[in-house]
Structures are given as C-alpha cells and as structure tokens.
Structure 1
C-alpha cells in the first residue's frame, strides 16, 4: 500500500482478507495497511461490534467460518464453494477411507455427498463431522484434541499422534494460501502441523481452493505443490488463470 487509507477503506480491505482467508492477524494488517497495530485493533473492535467479524487472539475470523450453520451468517463465495464440492464428489468411491480438514468449503462438500455413498470418513473438524453424520452409509470418526477457536478444528499432539496411526485413500484439505513458488501455506503454526500429519497419512492429497486464494501466500508452509494430486477450484480446468499450475504433476478439476 502506497497511501494511507480512510477507515472505511481499511474496513473494506480487512473484510476482503477475512472473506478470502477466513482469518487475519493484526500484525499482518498493520504491515499491509501501513498503520499501527493499535489502529488495527480499533478497526477490528468496530467490525466485531457491528457483528461482521469475531475477534480472536492476535486478529479476527469471519462469522460464517465460525458459525456456518447459522442461517444469518452468509458464506463467502458460497456458489463457488458448492461448485468445488460437486467436483470433489466425483473422486469419492464406495469403500474409500477419506480424511478431511475443516472450513466452509468442506462443509459444502459434506452436505452434497450422496446418501448412496458407502465410505469411512475421519475428520479433524467437529462441524464437518456433524454434517457427515447426516448421511446413512457413512462411518464417521472425529479425531479429537484441543479445539482451535480460530480455525474450528482440533489441533495438538493428540491429534497428530492419532493421525500417525491412520492410513487413508484420500485427504481433502482446504487451502489458506497457494502459489507455485511457495506451495500451500497457512497462518497458524498449530494448524500447519496437523495438516502436515494429515498429508503424511494419505495416499493422495486433494486441495480445495476458491480461485481468489490462488497465487497468495501466508506466513507458514504446509507443503510443496508436488505433494498435491488434485487441485480443485470453481474454474474450468482450461482457465487461463490456472496456467501457472498446468505444468505441475497434478490433476486440475
């Protein structure tokens, strides 16, 4: 940013970052907007008081990310996430063992799974587990541990230890940031450790990402793109926006 933005412009920028990445850190926003952290904290308090975000330690998260089943919470890019979910459904076969992360795209997927699918699901997300349990032919295991209030998934050593004993056919993960240069990235160190353990437990990795998250980078690396077998966006696979990913050894859906 080359100029100081008005408060309304800062709020608009903050909301877009939260909508795309689910979570923002005060330190990052201070650097991006070139204002003090005290200013950012006041901005986040105003947005929280207005019911637009939820404040968490060191930043804020989106309300729809934290309360996805609340009819008053609008899911950002919901149509795109539904399109992604429909594509991922084509990868799911009877008798597969599948491991999932959390997030609103994963909840859209859980809602779309046909009742005829017979499979076993492990998930680190209690919210995803609830939606999966609606389907009569799915066996659902929730991998418990400390609940991350900012990511709504279980984290910590107990989760990582449990994942080390699991071998699954397919791991489904949402991306917080994804780029050819930096790979898949995230902003939460504890979540990164769990995601790495999830990837290690899977034969194949499928990453679900709205196009807005592509070519963006968060603070901490999850994995290089060569570990990803499927990259699923709402875009058609031949979209020019995916040109940077086309030469990689992965399937674009």
Structure 2
C-alpha cells in the first residue's frame, strides 16, 4: 500500500518515511500542497498523512478541497494543534483521523493501520450506494440525504459516516465508542464528545424539532439508535 506524506519539515518527513517503510508501506513524499497535487495527478495513494501547516496553504483547506473533488482517499491530519475545535475542524473538512504532535511512533502506525482497515471495510462491506430508513434516503457517494420526500440536504464526510453507521444498524443501540471507531478513528481521544457534537448537528439537519428527535434516539447511558420505520410512523401519528 502506498501512503502520501505531505509534510514541509524535512526531518519529520524523513522520519515518517523511515517509520512507514519499516512497516512495509510504500511512501511518497511531498513538501507542499503544490507538490501533493502533482503526485495526485499521476497516482492514487491508499492514504494521505497531511500536515496542517504548509508553506503554500493550510492542510484543513486542502483536505476540504480533496473531499469536494470527490476524492475518497482517507486522510489523517498531523498537527501540533490540540484543541477540540481544531479536531472538530479536521473532521468537519473530511479527515478520517487526527493525530497531535508529538506522537508515539507505535500509536501512529496503529492509527494508520486502523484507518486503512476501516476504509477497506467501508468500501467493500458496510457502505451501500443508497441506504433507506423510513422517509430518509442516504446517497453515500454524493454525501446527500433526502428526507420527507423531497428535501435534499448536503452532509459533510464525517456526518455521512456517522449517519450511514446508524442507518446500517437501524433499531440497534450503538455505543459512542463504536460510532467513534467506525466514523472518526482508532481510539480517538475525546471521541465521545465529538460524537455528541455531530449527533446534534445531524439532528439540526434532519429533525423537524431537534429537541424532540424522531430519527436519532439517545439511549441514556448507552449511546444512540436510529429508530425503526414503524417507530417513526407511530411518532408521526
């Protein structure tokens, strides 16, 4: 598997290359967004490790651009910014995981492997092109959901991952940690709070009254559940 490392600091770039190649990965290096673009014109890596602070732009914006271009390569953000807001920004723009510098080598390798496993699983087993639950129709490829017959709402990649996870397990209570593992990343610190934030955002987009949700139910002490169509009809009645 080939990993594209976008990092402007030469020592960090070299260290990542040695570390990843030692685990059997093929590594392509880029020191800027422009260099990364040149690589992506001719190659499609299995994963991108993307520094946030780059000489010709910021990694958050580049990540968002790749997602908007329907580029489905998983992305791990690598940065010294460690606030919850920075992490939420990374996930909002489509990152699959977020690693804060300085990091433990073993942790980085495990996160890389986890993102690759999750990406492969989603592509081949979990995510369908369309998922329908009641009057919700999720178009995974286009990051759109149609609700109540005609309203179409655009989702961010992370919102899509969380919603597809819930809709693929309708009626089943999913723990926050499980949702975080599937949608956000391997043992992501603070993932429980991040999941709650995204659930609130999804409710604002989907629910008529976000304070009285009919689609995504909170199961106190456990997690969240996508209501069955029969439950939705009873609630509507």
TM > 0.5 fold call? no
Higher share in helix: 2
After TM superposition, the score normalised by the length of structure 1 is 0.29
